[in-house]
A and B are shown apart, each in its own frame.
Chain A
Amino acid sequence: MPRCAAGTKQDGTFHPDPIHLADSPKDPADDSTDAEAPRKQRKPIGWSMIFIAVLVAVSVILVWRRDGMHGVTEILFGDLALFGGILPRVLAGCLLGAFITEILPHEKVSRSLGPKSGLKGLLIATAFGAILPGGPFTAYPVAAALLTVGADFGATIAMVVSWTLIGYGRAVAWELPILGTDFTLWRIAISVPIPILAGALGRMVYVRLYRRGETE
């Protein structure tokens, strides 16, 4: 039901290539779960995972040859501790994404963050990205949720870029202590226009690339 709403959004204009999740394979077998919530498909382990796995395996061997078993276990335990610390936050992020998909009114989102939302949409997305709590475990599920409920690529790009460049989460936790206050504030100040510009550029390129036949 919600997916139908998303598909026919915007004045009932028919979009041959819906902007949201145009690429996600809509597996028919997945439709049973889709009836409850309009979620993305779950991906099988793809080439990117295999690539990283190979890279990790090679790195482990190189570390082992250089530093011996001691070097390997030292890194392993450090990373395991990090992983344990992150896990609850990943869960929080996934729940946040699922709840947002459920709560946000699709009509409203596609109006204020959709392809026709203009500069205002980009500003809203930028502000949203800047105040979003948490790390990648929150930002990406929430961004995926926004795409699902009708935000366009441009607004979602603005949100992700804003989170990554001017969001306070990473800046407070990592950048301030490591790089110092002066550099961090300076870097953030310079970054302020970037999410809006990236979103605008994304929107412009997207329209050229994928939505040629449509009336704007």
Chain B
Amino acid sequence: MSAALFIDITLWGSVAVLAFLVWKRGRVVALASAREGAMDFINIVPRIALGVIGSGFIAAIIPPEIITGWLGPDSGWLGVLTATIAGGLTPGGPVVGFSIGAVALKVGGGTPQVIAYVVAWALFAFQRLILWEIPFMPAKFVWFRAAVSLPFPFLAAALSMAIGKP
């Protein structure tokens, strides 16, 4: 709760500072800019609504065991590969992604595999790409970024294997 409050304060504080800076450039510019932002908001709301309200249902039909089953500490690079694919396929918001990671750790998943899972989920979970990135950004950039990100869960797992456990 306090974390959420902290985020809200920094977020709206940044908006206020930027609004002030824009305002100093003139009233017309500031109003046009604010209207632009508000129009973006109105355009994006239906997509966010679909995403946020829908993601609970998508997450509800995927049993977490499917994702956590293959990430054991002896699974090695195959486990890392599985973790990466699972991370990309995991639907839902941060609660789902991190909870599955936590479950995997609890049921004996290996640290490199779980790190690969969390990193892959953070980098290219398909649902976030479609629901958050595509509405805001050029599609070409989004797919390009996802493609470029592919090696990095493996790199993170390799680093984790090399350095050892926390």
Residues of A within 8 A of B (CB): 21-24, 33, 36-37, 39-40, 42-43, 45-46, 48-49, 51-53, 55-56, 59-60, 62-63, 66, 71-72, 75-76, 78-80, 82-83, 86-103, 133-138, 140-141, 143-144, 147, 153, 156-157, 160-161, 164-165, 169-170, 172-175, 178-180, 182-183, 185-187, 190-191, 194, 197-198, 201-202, 205-206
Q: Which of B67-75, B77-85, B119-127 contacts A (4 or more CB under 8 A)?
A: B119-127
Q: When A and B form their complex, what is the total count of cross-chain residue pairs whose Cβ atoms lie within 8 Å?
A: 260
Other-chain contact of A178, B39, B45, B102 (Cβ < 8 Å): B102
- Contacts A99-B22, A179-B105, A198-B148 aside, 9 further interface pairs with beta carbons under 8 A come to A59-B58, A75-B57, A89-B8, A92-B11, A102-B22, A147-B141, A157-B148, A161-B123, A178-B99
* Cα–Cα, bound, A179→B102 (Å): 5
Other-chain contact of B144, A83, A153, A182 (Cβ < 8 Å): A153
B127–A23 touching, CB < 8 Å: no
Chain B residues positioned under 8 Å from A40 (CB to CB): 137-138
Other-chain contact of A91, B6, B13, B38 (Cβ < 8 Å): B38
* Cα–Cα, bound, A164→B152 (Å): 13
Chain A residues positioned under 8 Å from B45 (CB to CB): 87, 90
Measured CB to CB, the closest approach of chain A to B134, in angstroms, equals: 5
Q: Is B118 part of the contact surface with A, judged by Cβ < 8 Å?
A: yes
Sorting the interface of chain B by its residue count into under 10, 10 to 19, 20 to 34 or 35 or more gives 35 or more
Other-chain contact of A97, B37, B114, B145 (Cβ < 8 Å): B37
A42–B119 touching, CB < 8 Å: no
Given A51-B130, A52-B127, A144-B136, verify A169-B52 contact (CB < 8 Å).
no
Contact with A along B22-46 (1 / 0, CB 8 A): 1001000100111011111101111
Question: Which partner residue on chain B sits nearest A209 by CB separation?
Answer: B144
B119–A191 touching, CB < 8 Å: yes
Given A75-B56, A179-B101, A186-B166, verify A49-B50 contact (CB < 8 Å).
yes
* Cα–Cα, bound, A65→B45 (Å): 29
Measured CB to CB, the closest approach of chain A to B89, in angstroms, equals: 12
21 contacts between A and B (CB under 8 A): A23-B141, A42-B39, A49-B50, A55-B54, A63-B61, A75-B56, A76-B56, A94-B41, A95-B15, A95-B38, A97-B136, A99-B22, A134-B11, A140-B133, A161-B123, A179-B102, A183-B111, A186-B111, A187-B118, A194-B152, A194-B155
